[in-house]
Homo-oligomer: A and B are copies of this chain.
Amino acid sequence: MAIYNAPVRDAQFVLHEVLRVQDQDQIEGYADLTDDLTTAILDEAGKIASEVLLPINETGDKEGCVLENGVVRTPKGYKEAYEAQCAGGWPGIDLNPEYGGQGMPYIINAVTGEFSSSAAMAFSMYTGLTHGAIKAIEGFGSEEQKNLYLPKMIAGEWTGTMNLTEPHCGTDLGLLRSKAEPQDDGSYKVSGQKIFISSGEHDLSENIVHLVLAKIPGGPEGVKGISLFVVPKFLPNEDGSLGNRNTLACGKLEEKMGIHGNSTCVMNYDEATGWLVGDEHKGLRAMFLMMNEARLLVGMQGLSQASIAYQNAVEYAKDRMQGRALDGAKFPDEKADPLMVHPDIRRMLMDAKSFVEGGRAFYYWASSLIDEENKHSNEKAREEAAMLIALMTPVVKGFLTDKGFDTAVNMQQIFGGHGYTEDWSQSQYVRDARIAMIYEGANGIQALDLIGRKLPQKGGAGMQTFFGMVKDFCKEHDDEAMAEFVEPLKAASKELQESVMWFMQNGMKDPNQAAGGSTDFLHQFGYTAIGFMWAKSAKVAQDALADNADDPAFYEAKIATARYYMQRVMPMTSTHLSRIKAGADSMMALDAAQF
């Protein structure tokens, strides 16, 4: 019953008109991203999303995964959809051609990934996590490991997982108990229990490559003694064929609020054979490489659920006849007007549209920084991009998932009681979106990462780069036509600077003051960053209209939505600033017993 039309036009607008990827020839591969090429790719990705993935999304939610005799059965249609995706080479679109990948820029994977995740988020996690595992092996594995694992994983014959969490520790990895005993042949015997392992066991691929954090006995205490191991379900022979079953098993499937189609496993490792990836005790470095990418991907998941929830709410608001427009009947021949005429419905739709499109621009921009970091010809540009994306990763993750969830909730609201039933998919979008605020570092952890680690990095260089970009834009477009966009952006940026100043003055001497305002700061940053995207989009749209571009209604909608964002969304930044400046004293005042 649900629809999904991949937002190809909007993606193209961001890629070619806002970010102008085709002009950035200093980034390897970007000059090839012509409008023709991206249109061909995105059209095809959109087609797969609508025709192959969307149909399995709702049934996947209802059916869920089943564990029987240690084997997990994914919902009906998952295997066929997975095979179709692999056959098209989609999982490896941006991966290393040396191992069978297609070598496109990361940003293309970001766009096609958004489409897949909108159409079937739980399903898309199987390939999404494999992508991260591939990056970790490519970044830290030995030549032998790379040659053995990467071709299979990029082809989708083998999938990957990441194993961090244990029953008693999630955020605090220093408490980890899983052990890896070195063996004479250079391998390790890995033992321990891991929980919340997405895609931990399933029937989509012939092998599953687990990347597992564990401690080598005798190593340093805490996080400094954690190593990373590759622990495959089936031990591969040297030629890549499958050998013995490893001594690891899925002990339980979690019953969850959503993402029922993805198997969330308790994984038990019982002296399972594994091999060290990278250096002893340096496992977190590799895991963070995986995790940083995973965090962008999770931010995208929040956006993706907002996007499909919005599309379906728009259709419903057009179709459902209920009540009359306050300023006179719009469909006098019908017994009622469509929901769309009501201002409060418009409020929710415009909130959603301005978030989804602005958030998309923000996410694609962040993804382009990954390419810039890895593939720009100029070292200084690479460094600057690295600083900026490091800073923005927690904002992408935290803000897009918090607001993505809120958006899905609001879109469900448009359906009234029907949205609460499981006959429509709105409940699923809400339930699926909810996890994105939690995993890969709960959003409170993102906020701490932002304020405690990323903001002060190299004397605040990343933040200064961001402020500089906003300032340059505002200066460049200090004209009457752009004033309605530039002025609110300038004000929000000034407020954000005020917050940074406040943290510098108060957070250094008392870290609770910084942490107490961290979530507000993350949101304030998110609103401002998306405001920057909207100001840029408005400028592009003004220019296009001045040039008599095709499809003026599209550009006019961009300007109207930018205006809505500036007038009705941006005011949140002031509240966040007020909260930050209130400090953490009242927050920390109570004894535990007084709650």
Spell out A's residues near B (CB within 8 Å). Answer: 165, 168-172, 174-175, 195-196, 254-258, 314, 317-318, 321-323, 326-327, 335-336, 338, 340, 342-350, 353, 405, 409, 412-413, 416-417, 419-423, 427, 430-431, 434-435, 437-439, 442-444, 447-448, 510-512, 515-516, 518-519, 553-554, 556-557, 560-561, 563-564, 567-568, 571-572, 574-575, 578-579, 582-584, 586-595
Contact = CB atoms under 8 A, between A and B. Distances in A.
7 contacts: A171-B322, A172-B322, A195-B417, A257-B422, A413-B438, A553-B591, A567-B582
B335 A175 contact: yes
Among A255, A346, A349, max chain B CB count under 10 A is at: A346
Given A343-B584, A563-B586, A567-B586, 17 more contacts: A172-B323, A175-B322, A196-B417, A255-B423, A257-B431, A327-B510, A327-B511, A343-B515, A343-B587, A344-B515, A344-B516, A344-B519, A347-B587, A413-B444, A416-B438, A420-B438, A574-B575
Contacts of A586: 350, 560, 563-564, 567-568
Contacts of A412: 434
A428 to B, nearest CB: 9
Contacts of A571: 574-575, 578-579, 582
Contacts of A438: 413, 416-417, 419-420
B421 A442 contact: no
Contacts of A554: 594
Nearest to A259: B420
B564 A350 contact: no
Contacts of A347: 516, 519, 587
Nearest to A563: B586
A422 to B, nearest CB: 4
Contact of A568 (B323, B582, B590): B582
Contacts of A587: 343, 346-347, 350, 564, 568
A445 to B, nearest CB: 8
Nearest to A447: B344
Contacts of A442: 413, 416
Contacts of A175: 321-322, 335-336
Within the oligomer, what is the number of copies of this chain? 2
Among A409, A422, A444, A556, max chain B CB count under 10 A is at: A444
Closest 6 CB pairs of A and B: A326-B511, A571-B578, A567-B582, A344-B444, A343-B515, A343-B516
A162 to B, nearest CB: 13
Contact of A256 (B196, B422, B510): B422
Given A575-B571, A592-B318, A172 B511 contact: no
A371 B96 CA distance: 73
Contacts of A430: 257, 434
Contacts of A422: 255-257
B447 A434 contact: no
Nearest to A510: B327
A335 B176 CA distance: 11
Nearest to A593: B553
A44 to B, nearest CB: 25
A477 to B, nearest CB: 20
Contacts of A346: 516, 584, 587-588
A166 B515 CA distance: 50
A589 B417 CA distance: 28
Contacts of A174: 335-336
Contacts of A419: 438
A561 B405 CA distance: 28
Nearest to A342: B515
A582 B350 CA distance: 14
A402 to B, nearest CB: 10
A136 to B, nearest CB: 21
A409 to B, nearest CB: 8
Contacts of A593: 553
Contacts of A595: 314, 317, 340, 349, 353
Among A326, A448, A579, max chain B CB count under 10 A is at: A326
Nearest to A347: B587
A336 B172 contact: yes
Given A327-B511, A343-B512, A579-B571, A417 B553 contact: no
Given A413-B443, A516-B347, A594-B553, A420 B575 contact: no
A141 to B, nearest CB: 27
A171 B337 CA distance: 12
A2 B423 CA distance: 30
A563 B584 CA distance: 11
B590 A560 contact: yes
A416 B257 contact: no
A263 to B, nearest CB: 13
A589 B564 contact: yes
A321 B350 CA distance: 42
Contacts of A322: 169-172, 175
